[in-house]
Chains A and B, each alone.
Chain A
Amino acid sequence: DAKTTQPPSMDCAEGRAANLPCNHSTISGNEYVYWYRQIHSQGPQYIIHGLKNNETNEMASLIITEDRKSSTLILPHATLRDTAVYYCIVRVAGGNQGGKLIFGQGTELSVKP
């Protein structure tokens, strides 16, 4: 699976949009971009995933560049409860192992009042 690069930490003001970047320059054509987050001492929580097109759900938006070498996770109105470590992961979907996730160091997002 391709590696990803994320900034180790970011701050965001409560109520503002949080834009979390991720570089995945060696991504393969059949690899999806997944985002998970982990609030302290809890299991990771799935946020969103995409292949080529931009995606939006009730939690966030995912913007993938046309060349697919980078992406941005957008939390439109960050709250204090969004403080967590955010992981960007690329992997192949499916297969006999269901596509294992390899976690990098992630970005520690601190939302401040």
Chain B
Amino acid sequence: GAVVSQHPSRVICKSGTSVKIECRSLDFQATTMFWYRQFPKQSLMLMATSNEGSKATYEQGVEKDKFLINHASLTLSTLTVTSAHPEDSSFYICSASYSGGANEQFFGPGTRLTVL
């Protein structure tokens, strides 16, 4: 149980275009979803936290107008990188948790974004 999927697993796009990444909880209802970014040889950096049906809470330094997050249902959150540039190339990882217990987070497999 507690499986999280991401789509696509890899995406290559041209500079200036927008890219949407989907995160789905397959066998549970995720009350909260998180989005992380990881650059090569670095640790995961939390970008934002989203609760179903409400606006995402962004970490300091993360531009909310550039990284649009929609958590429309209890099983789906999307991250849209708008007007992507080469410096946005990174590994984007989502996680999901459900209320109750110690709120473990279950991570997706990640999406490798390359902006040319």
Q: Which residues of A contact B (CB under 8 A)?
A: 32, 34, 36, 38, 41-46, 49, 87, 93-106
How many whole Å from B33's CB to the nearest CB in chain A?
9
How many whole Å from A109's CB to the nearest CB in chain B?
15
Point out the residues of chain A lying under 8 angstroms from B36, CB to CB: 103
Quick one: which of B32, B49, B99, B104 contacts A49, CB cutoff 8 A?
B104
Point out the residues of chain A lying under 8 angstroms from B49, CB to CB: 97-98, 100
CA distance A41 to B105 in the complex (A): 18
Question: When the two chains form their complex, are residues A32 and B43 in contact, meaning their CB atoms are under 8 A apart?
Answer: no
Q: Which residues of B contact A (CB under 8 A)?
A: 4, 6, 31-32, 34, 36, 43-46, 49, 51, 57, 91, 93, 95, 97, 99, 101-110, 112
Question: When the two chains form their complex, are residues A93 and B102 in contact, meaning their CB atoms are under 8 A apart?
Answer: yes
Question: When the two chains form their complex, are residues B101 and A98 in contact, meaning their CB atoms are under 8 A apart?
Answer: no
How many whole Å from B102's CB to the nearest CB in chain A?
4
Among residues of B, the one whose C-beta sits closest to the C-beta of A106 is: B43
22 contacts between A and B (CB under 8 A): A41-B110, A43-B93, A43-B95, A43-B108, A43-B110, A44-B93, A45-B107, A46-B106, A46-B107, A87-B43, A94-B99, A97-B57, A98-B34, A99-B97, A99-B102, A100-B49, A101-B46, A102-B46, A103-B43, A103-B45, A105-B43, A106-B43
